[in-house]
Structure 1
Amino acid sequence: MKVVFFYNEHGSPKCEEYYHLFDESSVELKKVLDGGSDDETVAACEGADAVITCIQPFPKNVIERLDSSVKAIVRVAMGYDIIDLEAATERGIYVCNVPDYAMEEVAVYQAALILGTLRKVCWYDWKVRSGEYDHLGYLSGYPARRISAISIGLLGFGRIAKNLAKYMLAFGATVYGFDPFLSDEVLQEHGVIPAKTKDEIFEKCDIISPNIPLMESSYHIIDADAISKMKDGVIIVNTGRGPLVDQEALIAGLRSGKVRAAGLDVFEVEPLPMDSPLLEMRNVILTPHIAYQTNESFDELQHRAVEYAIEGAKGLVPRGAVNPNARA
């Protein structure tokens, strides 16, 4: 059995601490530096039983040309958008991700962005560093709010949102949730007020956070129309996928004051271009798509990815398969 691992030198997981699992399962490991052409990707996968990738894409034209030996493609990440799921399923190839390795981390990070924007932590840090703090009681910028006086709206109520709701309720906030796939009772069991529509979230909540996968139906779920329905002075936080928020509409909202502040760990184009107007906005917290990362989550991610690749190489249905019936 053989596993081909596409890796890079820029901080993505290399899973080195778990290479021993390949040896213990009599699996040959071939490491390939990513960034190659489609032809090079296909050639590198020759004879592989499973493939691991972090950022090397597997589009339809690559998947259609892979050896028939390939049984699984494992993404060392929460998403699997760089792999053409439909093409892989047609070839009988399992597509795997690790969707639940950083549920606590992302929720805590969202909470940090909420608190940071609500209480202007980065704003005041910048003011002190720039020498503007010159007297006691110094106040600047947009109004801060008491957390027990505000409402937080969650679009989607999966594992991350459930954790975030728990944290925000502990701080005394009111939490609303909208998830068309869940009953009101599920939200109420977590102390969350069910919203009947996403517009109700937009209209009622002081802080809004999308916690849903990026799909055609969720692309730009927060756009100019959505922002127009929001409260004046709304705060928008996004740690999911950049295109959930129409970035141009957000920038317009920030410029007009309709949007008071934003906390963004993800962007429509990543890395964020250096000419983005967001970089000049001191009421926006910007971080480099890092909400998932702690020592513990990184370790869990790598361990599971290796295990799923070994399961796929053996012809088993990997526990992380998003298309478990691919080889049925």
Structure 2
Amino acid sequence: MTPIVLAPDANVPALDIEEAIVGRALTFRRFDESDPGRIPDEAWRTCDAVLKWKNMRLTADVIDRLDRCRFIVRVGVGTDNIDVDAARERGIPVANVPNYGTTEVADHGIALLLSLARGIEPYQARLRADLVGGFHAAGVPTVRRLRGSVFGAIGLGRIGTAMARRAKGFDMDVVYYDPFLPSGHELGFGLRRVKSLEALLGEADVVSLHTPLTDATRGIMDADAFSAMKPGSILVNIARGPLVDFDALEAALRSGHLAAAGLDVLPEEPPRHPHPLITAWQQREAWIDGRLILTPHAAYFSAASYHDMRAFSAQTLLDHFAAGVTRDVVNPGWERNRPA
């Protein structure tokens, strides 16, 4: 019997890319919902796998309904919308797709930094308003020389490493903090490593976030963290929105202690109930204009990376069911609870 893969929140018209990968080895059952309750109960209970996009939360009560499910694959990297512990308790491995979009995300992060450090948006606004009167360079407070300044990466996984390499290409002094990497890791990359978050914040001119969202990292950039940063520094977040306490971010920007921020991710996506900082940015209030850049969680996106994300997730499913290969698992220990 052909395994059935439930795609409960596939926000694409058809699973054509996925079907081209798996052929007749798997059968997809596609929905485009954000509420698990809108999926028929029998669909949850009879599927052999779940292909999870980003618009629905797989909570413990949903996972409890996966009577036959043997695999959950996240179409993307982040798994904070899946209760991976509940899946582990049910003996269900959860995998993500870590090998797509790395270069796009790193390029996007550097683009946010360059746009702020070189005043791209304020210069455009000046010229748009007055081609003659606005034709001057001075007076944009975020503009600075990058060469010789300190780029601080919090987390040095794939994307953090790619960002660090790019920062070195701009002759920045790269330092990182990552307590999960083995001793000596820095020697292979020729980077500087610090032993604490506080040490990094105290010397970095640019702080770039590259950690997953966990209970330990949620709100890692809070009021204390912003106070520990160097005056006039820049924050870049291309990881997860809730890593940053937005009240603390607004206060740091309003005080001028933080010069600017470039964010591709927000605490709520899309921001249906925008934070006052976002409202001030929308209205181009003078105190924030040109000091904040927001993009719509688009760092990963290109036609090539989007295709890779879908194709690689389908290949992960196929390898599991056709070859017995289960890779890129984010909830180790699931084997201990696997049904006999």
How does the TM-score come out when normalised to structure 2?
0.88
Secondary structure at the aligned position of 2:306 is classed as helix
In structure 2, what is the Cα distance between the partners aligned to 1:165 and 1:146?
17
Change over 3 Å in CA distance of 1:41–1:221 after alignment to 2: farther
C-alpha contact 1:127 1:133 (8 A) present in aligned 2: no
Offset of residue 137 of structure 1:
2.6
SS in 2 for 1:4: strand
Q: Once the two structures are superposed, what CA deviation does each residue of 1:57-97 show, in whole Å capped at 9, x if it has no partner?
A: 21001111222x21111111111111111111111112121
What's 1:287 paired with? 295
Structure 1 gaps, min length 5: none
User: Alpha carbons of 1:129 and 1:161: their partners in 2 closer, same or farther (altered >3 Å)?
Assistant: same
Residues 175-226 of structure 1: CA deviation (Å, up to 9, x unaligned) = 1111112245322332211112111111111110111111111111111111
What letter corresponds to residue 222 of structure 1 in structure 2?
M
- Matched to 2:8, the amino acid is F
Residue 240 of structure 1 aligns with which residue? 239
**1:71 aligned counterpart, secondary structure:** coil
Residues 225-247 of structure 1: CA deviation (Å, up to 9, x unaligned): 11111111110000001111111
Listed one character per residue, the Cα deviations across residues 87-135 of structure 1 (whole Å, up to 9, x for unaligned) are 1111111212112312211111111111111111122222322337615
CA 1:285–1:326 in 2, change beyond 3 Å: closer, same or farther? same
Q: Which moved more, 1:279-288 or 1:305-314?
A: 305-314
Paired residues of 1:71 and 1:315 also in contact (CA < 8 A): no
- Residues 104 and 299 in structure 2, CA contact (< 8 A), matched pair in contact too: yes
User: Hey, what's the Cα distance between the residues in 1 that align with 2:116 and 2:241?
Assistant: 18
- The structural deviation recorded for 1:149 is 3.1
Give 1:325 deviation, angstroms: 4.3
How is 1:22-41 mapped onto 2 (pairs within 5 angstroms)? 22-25=22-25, 27-38=26-37, 40=39
**192-201 vs 130-139, greater mean Cα deviation:** 130-139
Partners of 1:243 and 1:194 lie apart in 2 by 25
Distance 1:185 1:327, change over 3 A: closer
45-54 vs 218-227, greater mean Cα deviation = 45-54
- AA in 2 matched with 1:284: L
| Separation in structure 1 between the aligned mates of residue 36 and residue 179 of structure 2, nearest angstrom | 41
Residues 2 and 313, structure 1, Cα contact 8 Å, conserved in 2: no
Deviation at 1:322, TM superposition (A): 1.9
What SS does the aligned partner of 1:46 have?
Answer: helix
Residues 143 and 289 of structure 1, relative CA distance in 2, 3 Å threshold: closer
> Is the Cα–Cα contact under 8 Å of residues 213 and 241 in structure 1 kept in the other structure?
yes
Paired residues of 1:18 and 1:306 also in contact (CA < 8 A) = yes
Equivalent residue for 2:307, pick from 299, 312, 318: 299
In structure 2, the CA distance between the partners of 1:143 and 1:37, relative to structure 1 (3 Å rule), is closer
For 1:263 and 1:271, the matched residues in 2 are separated by 17
Q: Per-residue deviation at 1:316?
A: 2.9
Over the matched positions of the two proteins, sequence identity in percent amounts to 32
Helix, strand or coil for the counterpart of 1:126? Answer: helix
- Aligned to 1:30, what secondary structure does the other structure show? strand
DSSP-derived class of the 2:46 partner: coil
Give distance in 2, aligned partners of 1:307 and 1:182: 28
Question: In 2, distance between residues paired with 1:50 and 1:103?
Answer: 26
Aligned residue runs from structure 1 range 94-173, under 5 A: 94-131=93-130, 134-173=133-172
Answer yes or no: is 1:259 the counterpart of 2:261. Answer: no
Partner of 2:19: 19
Separation (CA, whole Å) in 2 of partners of 1:14 and 1:113: 33
Output the CA distance in 2 between the equivalents of 1:201 and 1:161: 14
Amino acid at match of 2:190: G
Report the equivalent of 2:6: 4
Give SS of 2:265's match: coil
Runs of 4 or more consecutive aligned structure 1 residues displaced over 6 Å after TM superposition: none
After TM superposition, the structure 1 = structure 2 runs for residues 39-78 of structure 1, keeping only pairs within 5 Å, are 40=39, 42-54=41-53, 55-67=55-67, 69-78=68-77
- Whole-Å separation in 1 of the counterparts to 2:156 and 2:13: 28
Q: Identify if the C-alpha distance between structure 1 residues 140 and 57 changes in structure 2 by more than 3 Å, giving closer, same or farther.
A: same
* Residues 1:229 and 2:228 are matched in the alignment: yes
Of the structure 1 ranges 302-311 and 219-228, higher mean CA displacement relative to structure 2 is found in 302-311
- How big is the shift at 1:37? 3.9
CA distance in 2, matches of 1:132, 1:255: 30
| Contact in 1 for aligned 2:212/2:239 (Cα 8 Å) | yes
Which residue, 302, 316, 323 being the options, matches 2:324? 316
The total of aligned residue pairs comes to: 324
Residue 152 of structure 1 aligns to a residue whose secondary structure is strand
CA contact (8 A) 1:76 1:301 kept: yes
Matched, 1:187 2:186: yes
